[in-house]
Amino acid sequence: MRDITAPEIFDGTTLYTDHALRLDGETLQAIVPRADAPNAEPLDGTILPGFVDLQVNGGGGVLFNDDTSVEALVQIAEAHASTGTTALLPTLITDTPERSIRAVDAVAEAIERGLPGIIGLHLEGPHLSLARKGAHDPSLIRDMTDADEALLCEAARRLPNLMVTIAPEAVPLGRARRLARAGVILSLGHTDCDYDTARAYFAAGVRCATHLFNAMSPMGNRAPGMVGAVLDDPAVSAGLIADGFHVHPAAMRLALCAPKTDGSLFLVTDAMATVGSQITEFTLNGRRVLRREGRLTLEDGTLAGADLTMPQALGILAGLPLPRARALAMATSLPARLLGRPANHGHLRPGAAFHAIRLDATGRFAGRL
């Protein structure tokens, strides 16, 4: 047996102080009061589950759209592991059908090999709205076909987790319902749909919204839009890019006050190739993306993903009036709730394998335990 302690221990739900973790080899036995572990090894900062990121476009100088290989997934996973993310969905931004197939094959092979960190795939497009395309290549955006639907249903059978961002403009309600029944984790995004349309898709099995506020119809007093539909439905989860550029702090504060009693807002990095590298530019579908003072933009100034890590996002949340436990959950257990299998991500559970990280007293990633 081995005991370790820190000023804060977060198990995915509860934030403990003056407690210790009791380990038996690689298994967590219990979280006990500090008085019951007099010989516990003291560490500083916070011990918590590894971060769970459901939107990772790249890392380590590699963009998944440019290199849909297992070797690229290794680089991406290692880059994010170096910042505390232990479970991620590599994300393919709108691209060709052939590249989507290669992405599915690469992720399936990576999971079969047991590549650490890769737990499924997120296809962000190409079935989106041109009106809310953002940095997605408009020439590649298209309506979903029968062949696309069949591909996604087959991919959902092959992969432990398949998330797909869709827009109602490109995916009829019946298709969305069938995909949800096939096990696809559907997320609405890059859409100009109205409030009632969004609610209809939620009722059909869509469980999530992609990067809340960004690339979706805004909330107005007479037209609540997609943003209003998400904030008005406690059962719908939504990713949030907390990098100081994508969403104003006031908008984040208001979203966090919405009647989402189950705390279904969670953090995503929407990270591009820059994370874990020193590159200052790269290409997305043949277009230059520039890295300048923490922002990633196309040459016309359009935001193109984020130059963001989970510890940085938590640092942004620290400036909001948000309970510490909820902020930590937004990077761990709350995104994990959308996942199918395996089910232990985002939590430290007695009797389960112990996979934890530590943040130092300043909030920086200090290593895995």
Banded pLDDT at 262 (limits 50, 70, 90): low
Is there a single domain that holds both residue 59 and residue 203?
Answer: yes
pLDDT, one tens digit per residue, over 39-96 is 999 999 999 999 999 999 999 999 999 999 999 999 999 999 999 999 999 999 999 9
pLDDT, one tens digit per residue, over 95-142 is 999 999 999 999 999 999 999 999 999 999 999 999 999 999 999 999
pLDDT of residue 53: 98
Banded pLDDT at 257 (limits 50, 70, 90): confident
Is there a single domain that holds both residue 120 and residue 37?
Answer: no
pLDDT at residue 28 tops 70: yes
Question: Is residue 38 domain-resident?
Answer: yes
Is there a single domain that holds both residue 33 and residue 66?
Answer: no
Is there a single domain that holds both residue 201 and residue 268?
Answer: yes
**Residue range 6-21: mean pLDDT, rounded:** 97
Neighbouring residues of 332: CB distance < 8 A, sequence distance ≥ 6: 10, 12, 48, 49, 50, 51, 52, 346, 347
Is there a single domain that holds both residue 288 and residue 359?
Answer: no
Question: Domain count of the chain?
Answer: 2
pLDDT, one tens digit per residue, over 217-243 is 999 999 999 999 999 998 999 999 999
Q: Of the candidates 138, 158, 160, which has an alpha carbon nearest to the alpha carbon of residue 150?
A: 158
Q: Indicate which residue of 270, 300, 307, 360 is catalytic.
A: 270
Provide the whole-model pTM.
0.97
Is there a single domain that holds both residue 161 and residue 62?
Answer: yes
Banded pLDDT at 260 (limits 50, 70, 90): low
pLDDT at residue 358 tops 60: yes
Element (H, E) at 173: helix 173-181
pLDDT at residue 321 tops 90: no
pLDDT, one tens digit per residue, over 143-175 is 999 999 999 999 999 999 999 999 999 999 999
> How does 255-280 read in b/e, with b if 16+ C-beta sit within 10 Å?
bbebebeebbbbbbbbbbbbbbbeee
- Count of CA atoms in the C-beta half-sphere (13 A) of 217: 24
CATH code of the domain covering residue 113: 3.20.20.140
Q: Is 95 a catalytic residue?
A: no
pLDDT of residue 353: 87
Strand partners, 16: 9
Is there a single domain that holds both residue 29 and residue 114?
Answer: no
What percent of the chain has a predicted confidence (pLDDT) above 70?
98
Question: Is residue 159 domain-resident?
Answer: yes
What's the mean per-residue pLDDT of the chain?
Answer: 95
pLDDT, one tens digit per residue, over 330-346 is 999 999 999 986 668 99
Question: Is residue 136 domain-resident?
Answer: yes
Is there a single domain that holds both residue 296 and residue 280?
Answer: yes
Question: Is residue 275 domain-resident?
Answer: yes
Question: Is residue 346 domain-resident?
Answer: no
Is there a single domain that holds both residue 257 and residue 271?
Answer: yes
pLDDT at residue 193 tops 60: yes
Range of the domain at 91: 51-336
Strand partners, 46: 8, 359
pLDDT of residue 344: 81
Is there a single domain that holds both residue 75 and residue 181?
Answer: yes
pLDDT at residue 311 tops 70: yes
pLDDT of residue 290: 96
CATH code of the domain covering residue 20: 2.30.40.10
By the 10 Å C-beta count (0-12 exposed, 13-18 middle, 19+ buried), 211 is classed as buried
Is there a single domain that holds both residue 263 and residue 364?
Answer: no
pLDDT of residue 342: 62
Tokens coding 80: 């994010």
Is there a single domain that holds both residue 13 and residue 102?
Answer: no
Question: Is residue 343 domain-resident?
Answer: no
